[in-house]
Amino acid sequence: MALTDTKVRSIKSREKSYKIDDGRGLFLGVNPTGSKYWRLKYHFGDKEKLLSLGIYPDVTLADARRKRDDARKLLADDIDPGLAKQLKKRVKKLVAENSLESIAREWHIRFASKWTPEHGARTWQIWIFN
């Protein structure tokens, strides 16, 4: 039976963790602490896998269903959604590491020890405001 937002909101924790099925592989895991996690169970390459979709209420029921549908589209194209998520995360990290600001910080740290404090502050302000 499909979940509703009202039902998800009213779910209480128990002594042990348990799952509530929403259909098509999507379920809500409820921990004894009361936290609620959206997960997707799927099969890829003859293996059963789990994909974490987020924490309720940060990820709403509608968001979780949209993410489930996106993952199922990837599966239809023979792409593992778990690996796709990991790759996306790595790319995001690489882009952040190679931003102009991070390179400027590394450069400033490398040379700041050779400068007077005033020159270091002035140089950093030039990087920040330009």
pLDDT at 13: 95
Q: How far apart are CA 25 and CA 47, in angstroms?
A: 14
User: What's the Rg (C-alpha) of the chain?
Assistant: 23
Residue 65 amino acid letter: R
Q: Whole-model pTM?
A: 0.74
pLDDT at 129: 64
CA-CA distances (angstroms) from residue 47 to 41, 43, 116?
10, 5, 60
pLDDT at 112: 86
pLDDT at 1: 65
Give tens-digit pLDDT for 43-92.
999 999 999 999 999 999 999 999 999 999 999 999 999 999 999 999 98
